[in-house]
Structure formats: structure tokens, C-alpha cells
Structure 1
Amino acid sequence: MITKMKKIILFMSNSAVEVDAELTLLGQLGVMHVAPFQPAKDESIERVDARIKQLEKAISILNRYDIEPFPGPFETTDFSTIERGEIELMEKVLYTENNRIQLEDKKEQENLDLEWYRKWGNISAEDITDLDKNGVFIKLYLLNNRELKSIQGRENIQFIGKLDNLTQVVLISEDVNNKIDFQEVRVPPMQLDELELSLTKTIEEHINIIKDLQQLHAQKSVLQDALDERIRRLDVRNIQYGGMTIDNQVRYWKGFIPDDAVHKFEKAAKKYSWGYIIDDPAPEEIDDVPTLIRTSRWAERIRPVLNFMGLVPGYKELDVSKVFMIFFTFFTGILVGDAGYGFVFLLITFLIHYKQKFVMKIEFKLMYTLSVSIIFWGVLTGTYFGAESIAEIPFLSNLRIRELSSFGGDSIFIQKFMFLIGAIHLSIGHLQIAWRYINSVKAIAQLGWVAIIWGLYLIVNQMVLGVSAPEFMIWLFIGGTLLITLFSNPGTNFIKGVILSIANLPLSIINGFSDVISYIRLYAVGLSTVLMAASFNKMAIGDGISTIASGFGAVIILILGHSLNMILAAMAVLVHGVRLNMLEYAGHAAVEFSGNEYTPFKLKNNKKFKI
């Protein structure tokens, strides 16, 4: 159900110190959903945000040394004992890391220069400069065969060797402007002996830098505490500057709290001397009221799907989580519809769950439920990796329902069953609205819509499947139309309400017809999954396997083919399984998912902050 909310106006002193302390207490209480009057803007927010990024970067640097703790002895300052030690520690980590990067770049370049000497010989930039002073100019090149052809016949060219299919070329000339129109090879700036000494020193400095970072890693908790505090400040200031002031003396905020949390809030307000006004939201504020859904534990499993799709019903809309969960689970089973695939999904879920030490996450509960649904429908239809031969095993054959069977089943019966599911699904939406308006004649109009839905179900069976409609079908439409016309708009002038209902009715009935027929997608997509699986089986095995190579190829085709089919089936669940709930059913339940989720101002790591 969607929890009833109360509107609250909260007043506090506008003193910076008091606001920070009081809002911290409010964040620790964690029940008030704050609706900002304005975007939070202030220089202090930008400064804290920048500091958070620096601290996160410093912590990420030290995280690399979690596996290699420094054995000791420690020779660095204990930053937890000095004022603003966390800032000094952060700056030292960032500075040291910058030096490490520079040393690594230097070491890499010096190794490349050392490799250059091994390839070109002991000639240095200093030697070339000395020759330049004496009027002899040397230029080095690495050319491919096509480039070599373009310089054939040139004077003062020497070919001295090969490097990776490229030719080492030396141009010796007394003219400084004489050159080849290709890129020259860079000559290391240091002589060989200087380079070797420099590389040794660089390696030693790099080792010492790593030791420094390992020692600093022992004080990572200082940075983590500082990060937690800055995150608290950022959260508090975002709330602080989203409020309004009165004569710059009092700051106030508007928000919402669950009705059952009012007592808890009032108790805290009395203890900390907060001023407040609590009232029911005004009709014009309904769109601002956040939605807090509290439902059964089994229905909570649909939460990851709703969050992924960003679906939040409005405050005055229906809680559809239970219906969504039941039918999404059912639709998933039909759309995938292969017990073999269901077992694979179940195994993958179990292995991932096992790797995470069976941590209790709602996502795993959902996947286990969906996997079992796929297996259940696959058993009923006799579908196991799209192989009819498996379905004919006596034990498995006895478990399937012949009319629903993927191989030799009654397609008319299956399609009729899908339309029946659709009619039930859409009827539930209208019955939920009827229950909501149980004390109003509007509930009677919803019963009229239920009659229309079942009349449309009979028409769809007749038009699509050729199943003759019973004679009472016309009375479903007559009775439904009469109820809708008379009771849909009871609050207006009676004649005006009737005219308005009649004007909207034809288009609504047409939409209802398309909604019912839309459930044929369950049959079509489920059938395509089976046919594709069977096609991959035939492609892989055909008339049999006669050689090792053909057996190996068959295995590859089966693995790749069924993997692709499972991916497509999973996509079909996201597209069609969600759509039938989000559009068809939600449309008939008058749910537009126009709400915003209840997200109370709640500080992270509450226990760390003492006021």
C-alpha cells in the first residue's frame, strides 16, 4: 500500500553553526523528505564537493596497497594527531602519487633510450653535436621498403641494419639543410654511461616512492573519516541552501513525513527545540507528495524491476506491486518457456549468489522466482532446450499438459488462454479502482468496464480465433456501457456527465480491444523462443554426428545458439513482460507512474557523527 503522508514546515535559527548541527540531527533522524524551494547554490557547496573529489582520489590511490601492507618500521608522521592532519595527509598522498607517475614515465623513457643504444650503437646526441660543429651533419631514419625506393640514387646515404622490417638509414652531409623527407629518429639526450646511472637512480627513487605510499596506506582511515565528514557537510548544505529565510534570522524548509513517523518527529522536535507545522497536503500539492510503498515481502521482489524502469506510482495512484509481481513472474515463464533455460538461469543465479557468500539481496530472490517460473511453464509445455525427444521421455511427458505442449499442442487453445490472461489482468485493474471507490458510485462504473473487457475478450476470440461468441456477449456491452455512462462522472451535472462519458466511450473501447489482443505477444514470443531453439538443434545435429569434427562443431553451435536464444528471451521479458504491466494493465488501473519516490534526508554513517 502507499503510505499516507503529512506535510511539514520546519523552522530553525539561521546561524551557520546551529543550522549545521540541527540539520545533522535531522539527517540522523532520517524521516523527513525535503522538497527544496530552490536549487541549493553556495560557494561552500562547491568547495566541499571539490574536497570530496580530492579525498576520494587519495583513498583510491592508497587502495592499491591494500594487498601489500608496509611491513615497517614506520617513519612517517601520525597525521591523526595534528590539526588539519587529514588535509596534510591527502596533499602528501596526491603529491607522492604525482611523483610516482613522473618517475614511472621517466623510467619508461630511459628504458626506451637504453634500448635505442642497443639497436643503434654507442652514438649520442653529444657526438652528433660535435660533428655538427665541424660541419658534418648526421641524420638517422627508419624506413620501410616503399620509402627506401623513393630515395634510391641519393648520395651520402648509408644502410646500417634492420629493425622490425624497417631499414636503419644514416644521412651524412656537409649541408645542414640536406635531409630526407621522412621523420627523423630521436637521439637520446644522454650518453650511454650517463643514461645507465640515471636509470639506476630512477629505479631506486621509484622503489622509495612506493614505500612512502605503503606507509601512508596505514593511515587511510584518517582520509576515510575526513571523507565521511565532508559528505555529511555536503548533504547538510544541500538541504540548508534549498530552504528559505525570514529576515535572514530564521531558515525554513517544506517536506513530507509518513503519518506513522509523526510521533517520532515530534518527539525529536521537542527535544531539540525545532519549530514546525504539520498538516495534510493541500490538493494543489498532491503532485509534490512523495510515494512510499510498503507491501508484502514476496511482492517486494519486483522492486529491482520497478527501480530499473524508473516506475513510481503517484501518491494518489494505486500500489501495483503485488499484481505486477504476480503477472511479471507468469509472463516471464511464458515468454522464455523452456525448462532447460530456466535451469540454466537458476544455476547462474546460484553460482553468483554463492560467489557473494549468499548475501541476502532482493535481486537474487527475484531471479530465483523467475527461474522457477520458467522451469514450471517449460515442464507444463514439455520444452527442454527446444528438443522434442527430451519431452517424449515418459516421466517428463506425463508432466506436460497436451493442449499447452510446444510440440503438437493446440495453438487455438494456447492463444485463447493468452487472451484469457489478458482479460483477467485488465479486469483486476478495474476491480482495484472499484475497491478504491467502494463508497462511491464510481465503483459501479468500474464494474461496467469489467463487463466491457469480457465482452472484448469474446470478440477477440471470435475475430482472431474463429471461436463463436455466446449470445450473452451483447448484454455485456449493453450493461457495461449503461453503468459507465451513468456512474463515471457523478460529481458533475447528470446530463453533462452522461454526455461526457458517451463522448469518451468509443475511443476507450477501441483501446480496450487493442489491449486485450496485445496479449497475443505472449504466445508469439514464447513460440519464437521454442522454434529458434529447435532450429539451432537441427542445425547442430541434423541427421546425426559422424565425425569428431562434426561433433565439435555441433557443440559450438549448440552453446552459441542457445546462449543467443537465452539473451533474446531475456530481452523479450524486459520488453514485453514489463510492457503488459506498465502500459496495458497500468492504463486500466489508472496508474501513470507519475510519482517521485520517498527519499528522506538521511545521513550516511550516522553513528560517526556526534553533536
Structure 2
Amino acid sequence: MIVPMKKVTLVVLDREREDALKALRKTGVLHIEKQEAQSETLEKLTSTLADAEQALAVLGEYAGKNTGKSSSHSGDTNNASEIVEQVLQLREERKEAYEIMARTGRELDRFALWGDIDPTDFDYFAEKGIYFFPFEMSVDDYTAIPESVRSIIVNRDKKNIRCLIWGEDDLLHAGMPPGAREIVLPEKSTVELRSDFETAQARIPKIDAELTTLAASIPVVAAYIDALRYEKEFETVRAGMEAVAVTENGNHPADLAALCGYLPTEKAPAISKAAAKNGWACLITDPDDEDAVPTELKNNRFVNLIKPLMDFLGTVPGYREVDISLWFLLFFGIFFAMIFGDAGYGAILAGISLWGIFSARGKGTTPPPALSMMVYLALMTMAWGTITCTWFGIPVEHLPDFFKTIALPAFSNENPTAPDNIKVFCFTLGLVQISVAHLIGIVRNRTSLKALGELGSLMMTVGMYFVVLNLVVSAEKYPLSDIILGSIGAGFLLNFIFINFEGAIGKGILESLKNIITMCLGVVNMFGDIMSYIRLWAVGLAGAAISATVNEMAGPFLGGFIIFAGVLLLVFGHGLNYVMNALSVIVHGVRLNTLEFSNHLGLTWSGFKYEPFSETGNK
């Protein structure tokens, strides 16, 4: 459920702004409404935090290369800023070294066929009245140079000649052929360029070694970042508090400071108590419709199994929307099971998850919540695999009779009609899930005629379910009766009249007429949404086919002396299929909940988490 929230407005003396925030932070219950904040301290903290995060990213690239080497600062959090500065300096040195190598490398390549060149030699001869101009040209262009032009060939090949044109002044002869290219001298001699290149090249491994050693300080830098975020959060709130002027003499232009925030209704007494204790003015009201209220979800242990997935997806319902955690968990478990579709795969997942849970408990730590969710998904997968008699893709005729006995005959791989039965089951799942969405809509709008619009959508859903069965499964088995067509027509009419109801039926009909094309396409979309659930059968079938193919490929190897090749093929093939199934769950299983189901529910996932201003929030 979504926890009811209260809006809190606090007013404190401006001179006590920091002390008030420290006391407020200790209560740890108020989600503060962020305001635009500016201050020198905030700018400095933002810059310092950005530097620290960059340093951590750099050290992260070297974390795997550190084989036990410890930095002199690896355990000292007081020197974290020095570590950050050192890391960023080394990063810049490394970048500069690569730039030097690139720049000098280009110059050395440019003069590779010229030998050693020193621009100071050209200056020396120029002082003596002899001017040299390096040129590169084709052999034909060189032969076309007038005899009055004096030249010295430095290097030649079959096509080009590199030479020096010289004379007693710094003006080039006007008779040079158009194809001749004057070469710009390097800033340094090639000897110096080569030295710079080698120095930079030698410096890079040393920098890498220093950064590898500093990688041992990653925990220190990470703790430093947490501390900076903690300080930044405090300063953001402090600087963002609204100043309230209560005097007119100019001596105290902002005697008071105010802030707004939100907290669960059940925690309101805590903020009232803190306000009374610290002498704050406190106003607690219900949030207005235009307020951006954070969302706090509160569910039982079973429903909370879905929380790791919701956190991973970053999906939070809006405060005024509906919490579908229970439905998400139930349907996602079924979708996961049907996509993996193999009891053997489920058993492996269950074993790994249980091992992780018991291992964590053995170490005295709390197991990650994701492991509990994995156990639930594994059990659902084992149940579906048992029902369909699917175990590691092994042909059903090769399975023990026990597995065939406990399978559900209608869905068992022994039954030739099982694919059609599973298709019907997929569409039925779609009917149930979409119907749940509209039933929730009816309940939420029970005091408004808009509930009739939701009823119309429900009637269209049921009608379109039979249309899908008629077109996809069997027209003879699922004929389209007048009742079904009437349900679709009546449902569309109810939806058209009442879905946009806002106090007056005529106004709602007018709004529907404005969107007549969208309203008509809604019927087609209903058909498409139910049809989309067939993906569960299709993806599960693909996974089963891959499992069977892997078994067939590995079979010939298992009876000979190269049995290890067969085992390797089995592990690799089924492992790859496992990964592909996991990706399919994200693409298909999650989509059916966050798109089809959510759209029919009117759920936009536009909310944001309730994150109270607390001592441990960002520390």
C-alpha cells in the first residue's frame, strides 16, 4: 500500500538555521522539498564531490590489478582529499603523456625519411646568409626545377624526392613547380622529439603502477564521497530554505527561514515533538493536489519480495496512483516461470539462491533481499516445469514415469494438444491481468460515473479475449456469438460516454468526440494487448528448443572417451540459454507488467521515493 503522507511547513529563526537542520536531521522523518539553492559552500562541495567521484572511477579501472599492494593512505580517511588530488594529478599526467606521445609520434613519422633534423641548424645557417628550405616533391617536379635553383637531395624513392632548396636570401625562387610542397620544420629537433616520446612512454607504466597501488584506497575514497554527499545534502537544504523578512529597519532583512517537506502520517507526532522542543513554528496539513508528494510503500514480507526488482527498474508509482506490488509479484512470478519453462533450471536457481542465503546467515550477515525473490521465482519455475513435464530439455519419453505422473495432462509435453492449451492459458492470463486493472479502476472510481467507463473497458476486454481465441486458436471451438459481439459494442459505448466523465456526461462525451480516433483505436489496442501475452508461449518454446538442441549436440560425446567435451557443451549451451532466458524475462516479463497492465490501470510510474532527511540517509 501507499502510505498516507502529511505536508509539513517549518519556520525557524534564521540565525538558528544550521542548528535547526541538525536537530531535524536527527528526527530522520521529514522528506524535504528541494528548492533551488546557491552558496559558495555548496559550489565548493559540488566541485569537491565531482573530483572525488572522478578519482573513484579512475581507481575502479585499476582495482582488479591490485594484488595486495597497499597504499600509505589506504586506511586513513583523513587523507582522502590528498588521495583524490594525487589520483587526479596522475590521471592528468597520464593524459598528457599520451598527448605527448601522439604529438611527437606524428612529428617523428613526418620526418622519418629526413634523418635527424634540428631547426636551430637552419637558424645558424640563416645567420650566415645561407637559407635552406625543405621540400618534398615528385621526381617529375624535381626535374622541372629551373637550373638557377640550387638544391641538395636528402632522400629519394621511386616516386618522391626530399631535398633542401637553398639560396642567399629568405625568398623562395618563383619558378618552383606547383607540385612541390614546402615542409614546415618541427619545433624541436628530432633527437629531442624522440627523447620526449621515450620519456612519456616510460612514464605511463610508472603512473599505472602508482594508480594500481592507490587502488587499495578505494574504500577510503568511497567513504569520503559518502561524507561529501552527506554534507552536500545538508548544505543544499540550508541554502535552499526560504528567507522570511519580518523587520523593516534593514538591520535584519531575513529574521526567519522556512522549509517544506512530507512525512508519513504516523510519523507526524515525531516532528511535532521536535518542533515543540526546539521552538519551531510547525504547520502539518494534508498535501494539496498540485504538491509533488513522495511515495512510501508499505507491504508485508511476501509482497516485499518484489522490492529488489522494483528498485532495479527504478519504478515508483505516483503518490495518488495505486500500488500494484502484489499483482506485480504474482504475475511476474508466472511470467518468469513460463519464460524459463524448465523445472531443472528452476532447481538450479533455487539451489544457488538458498546457498547464498545460508552462506550469508552463516557469516552473521543479512542475506540480500534479491535472494529471497530468486527463491520465489525458482519455485514458480519448478512448478511450471513440473506441470509441463520439462526437465533440462530432456525428451519426455526419456524421463522417469514419476515426472510424467505429476505433470498436468492438459499442459504436459506428452499431450499433442498442449501447445494450443498453453496458448489459451496465455490469453487467459492476459484477460485476468487486464481485467484486474479495470476492476481496480471501477473500485477507485466507485463514487463517480467514470466507473461505468471502466466497466465498459472490462466488457471489451472479455469480448476481445474470445475474438483472439477465435482467430488464433480455433474458430470452431470458440465461435463469435452475438453475446460476445454485443459485449464489445456495449463496452465501447459505455467507455465512450463515461471514461472522460468530469462532473457532466455531456462534457465527457464531448471530450471523447475530440479523441474519436483514439477511442476507436482503443478497441484494436485491446485486441493487441491480449494478443501480446502469446509471447510467453513463444519465448518459452524457443528456450525449450534450445535446450533440446544442446542435448542432441552433446549426446554423441557423452558415450565416448571425449566425454569432457560433451559435459563442456552441456554447461556452455544450457548456461547460454539461461542467460538468454534472463534477458527475455526483462524484455517480456517486465514489459507485460509495466506497460500493458500499467496502461490499462492508468499507472504512469511518475512517482519518486520517500527519502527522509536523516543521519544515515547519505552518510
The aligned residue for residue 615 of structure 2 is: 603
Question: Letter of the aligned partner of 1:41 in structure 2?
Answer: Q
The match for 2:581 is 569
Deviations 1:255-312 (A, max 9, x none): 2222222222111111111123222222222xx1111111222111111111211211
1:224-239 equivalent positions in 2, closer than 5 A: 232-239=230-237
Label 1:588 to 1:91 Cα distance change in 2 as closer, same or farther (>3 A).
closer
2: CA distance, partners of 1:477 / 1:36: 48
CA distance in 2, matches of 1:461, 1:563: 35
Partner Cα separation in structure 1 for residue 84 and residue 494 of structure 2: 73
Q: How much has 1:347 moved relative to structure 2?
A: 1.8
- 2:4: which partner in 1? 4
Secondary structure of 1:348's partner? helix
- Equivalent runs, 1:41-440 vs 2, <5 Å: 41-48=38-45, 232-246=230-244, 247-285=253-291, 288-357=292-361, 359-389=366-396, 392-406=399-413, 408-410=415-417, 411-440=419-448
Question: Alpha-carbon deviation of 1:484?
Answer: 2.2
Partner of 2:137: none
In the other structure, the counterpart of 2:104 is: none
Give secondary structure in 1 for the equivalent of 2:282.
Answer: strand
Deviations 1:83-105 (A, max 9, x none): xx986x6689899999xxxxxxx
Other structure's SS at 1:598 match: coil
Shift of residue 37, structure 1, vs aligned partner: 2.2
CA deviation string 1:420-473 (max 9, x = no partner): 110000000000111112222222321221111010000000111123234421
**Shift of residue 384, structure 1, vs aligned partner:** 0.6
Q: Which runs of 5+ in 2 are unaligned?
A: 89-189, 200-212, 245-252
| Rounded Cα–Cα distance in structure 1 between residues aligned with 2:261 and 2:529 | 39
Report 1:469-484 matches (<5 A): 469-484=480-495
Asked if the contact 1:31/1:265 (under 8 Å) is kept, the reply is yes
Paired letter, 2:524: I
What are the within-5 Å matches in structure 2 for residues 539-558 of structure 1? 539-542=553-556, 545-549=558-562, 551-558=563-570
Whole-Å separation in 2 of the counterparts to 1:254 and 1:541: 68
* Alpha-carbon distance change, 273 to 452 in structure 1, aligned in 2, over 3 angstroms: same
Following superposition, the deviation at residue 187 of structure 1 comes to: 12
**For the residues of structure 1 that align with 2:447 and 2:49, how far apart are their CA atoms?**
55
- Equivalence for 1:520: 534
* Alignment of 1:487 onto 2:485: no
Residues 1:518 and 1:9: Cα distance change in structure 2 (over 3 Å): same
Change (3 A) 1:409 1:573: farther
Return the match for 1:20 from 2, 6, 18: 18
Alignment CA distance shift 1:94-1:588 (3 Å)? closer
Classify 1:21/1:515 alpha carbon distance in 2 versus 1 (closer, same or farther; 3 Å): same
Q: 1:314 to 1:230 in 2, by over 3 A?
A: closer
Q: Taking structure 1 as the reference length, what is the TM-score of the superposition?
A: 0.69
1:25-70 alpha-carbon deviations (Å, 9 max, x no partner) = 11121111112221x3322134446677899989x99x999x999x
Alpha-carbon distance in 1 for matches of 2:233, 2:254: 21
Structure 1 alignment gaps of length 5 or more = 70-75, 77-84, 99-178, 189-209
> What CA distance in whole angstroms lies between the structure 2 residues aligned with 1:579 and 1:97?
43
How far apart, CA to CA, are the structure 2 residues paired with 1:499 and 1:251? Answer: 48
Q: Secondary structure of the equivalent of 2:263?
A: strand
Aligned residue identity for 1:571: L
Q: Distance in 2 between matches of 1:538 and 1:11?
A: 74
Residue 233 of structure 1 deviates from its aligned partner by 3.2
* Counterpart selection for 2:452 from 444, 447, 454: 444
Instruction: Give the superposed CA RMSD.
Output: 4.0
- Please report how far the alpha carbon of residue 580 of structure 1 lies from its aligned counterpart in structure 2 after TM superposition: 0.2
**TM-score if structure 2 supplies the norm length?**
0.69
CA distance in 1: counterparts of 2:572 and 2:82, whole angstroms = 52
Task: Give the one of 450, 464, 479 matched to 1:468.
Answer: 479
The verdict on how the C-alpha distance between 1:539 and 1:270 changes in structure 2, with shifts beyond 3 A counting, is: same
Residue 42 of structure 2 contacts residue 235 of structure 2 at CA under 8 Å; is this kept in 1?
Answer: yes
Cα offset, 1:572, TM superposition: 0.6
Conserved? CA contact 2:550–2:570, under 8 Å: yes
- In structure 2, the residue matched to 1:510 is 524
Does the 8 A contact of 2:6 with 2:285 survive in 1? yes
Letter in 2 for 1:301: L
